[in-house]
Amino acid sequence: MTRRNWLLQQLGIKKWKLRCPAAVLPGAIAFTTTLPDHIRLLLVAYSLPPVDHQLVVDVARSMAITPAQIYRVTPKQVMLLQQNSVRCYCWWLGLDVLRNFAGISFNTPPLAVLSSNVGAKCELWHRISTIILHTAAISCRLD
């Protein structure tokens, strides 16, 4: 028994552990530290856009990714992911790359800027085409 638990016991305070903190505590997030195997795009942003946002859909489609293969996380949540569990594309939306994972990472301005700035969109599409060419070249070498 730890000193803390002993002190709580001496004060007559029972220690409880919540089975589902997200249901009781507002703002609590149930979060896993590994990604499911089917995930191909990890989208990291402070303000998470919906998966059905037109630009997100277009980016996913250009990379041959379905909305079901996109996983959205905040910067705090991405720090909880195990380093070896991320083997997919990582799109850092509106922030710098915070962690290096096994997949290809790219960062862009926030979605609001991308939606209204033609130059930022052109740079995004250029990066995606470079990523697709790079991925195709690697798979050709492996064959």
Distances in whole angstroms, Cα of residue 67 to Cα of each of 51, 80, 83: 6, 23, 23
| Domain extents in the chain | 37-142
> Closest Cα partner for 60 from 96, 91, 101, 93?
91
Kindly report the average pLDDT of the chain as a whole number: 83
pLDDT in tens, 9-60: 888 887 776 566 555 555 555 555 778 889 999 999 999 999 999 999 999 9
What is the radius of gyration, based on Cα positions, of the chain? 20
For residue 83, what is the enclosing H or E element? none
| Residue 139 pLDDT | 53
Strand segments (E) across 74-122: 89-93, 105-108
Taking each helix axis from N to C end, the angle separating 118-142 and 54-62, rounded to the nearest 10 degrees, works out to 30
pLDDT greater at residue 87 or residue 46: 46
pTM of the model: 0.72
The domain over range 37-142 is classified in CATH as 3.90.1200.10: no
